[in-house]
Structure 1
């Protein structure tokens, strides 16, 4: 046991700068608050937030365009009400067609 400890201590003493450098890289790279892994996580989070910003800016532009159209043309309110909220006049019928597929029921059990 003592000979193994002596060999390890001799290795550390001989390569002390290498050992200290490796230890510092491990601490800074993985354990520290500002580690490389944390930096990668923050970069991914920034990327996701930027895509959210782009999405919301596009939505804002679309909504602003629609609002300008409503102010300019009163018939646009009727169009939006029909398309978005399925409102209708008294003498009309509305049919909503959907492309959604119904899920297949693979359960072969019968309920009693």
Structure 2
């Protein structure tokens, strides 16, 4: 009985600290909208925004390239030679790979 009385006195003495501790535990870890989940969601949002920005830049570059290709036949020939290794019938193509160091 004395152990129960000691526990009750401890709870009575530190009731506000225990309440705040339980509240922080629920908010920080156990809740559906916990701080840990919020941090992971913010990190995911940041990664998705950077991915959106990368695709936006790629779209702008591809749009510019498409406009150049459709308006300039020399640019079309340049892209066909560089990207797709196309050649004229009397030419030879040599491809050199550079070290990535």
- Give TM-score scaled by structure 1 length: 0.81
CA gap of 1:4–1:99, structure 2 versus 1, over 3 A, is farther
Aligned length: 100
Distance of 2:37 and 2:15 partners within structure 1: 28
Instruction: Report the aligned-residue RMSD.
Output: 1.5
**How far off its partner does 1:3 sit?**
3.8
Distance of 2:9 and 2:91 partners within structure 1: 93
Indicate the residue corresponding to 1:41 in structure 2.
Answer: 40
Tell me which of the two structures has the higher relative contact order, counting C-alpha pairs closer than 8 angstroms and 6 or more residues apart.
2
Unmatched 5+ residue regions in structure 1? Answer: 102-112
2:98 is the counterpart of 1:99: yes
Listed one character per residue, the Cα deviations across residues 51-89 of structure 1 (whole Å, up to 9, x for unaligned) are 101100100110010011012102222111111111111
Unmatched 5+ residue regions in structure 2? Answer: none
Distance of 2:81 and 2:70 partners within structure 1: 17
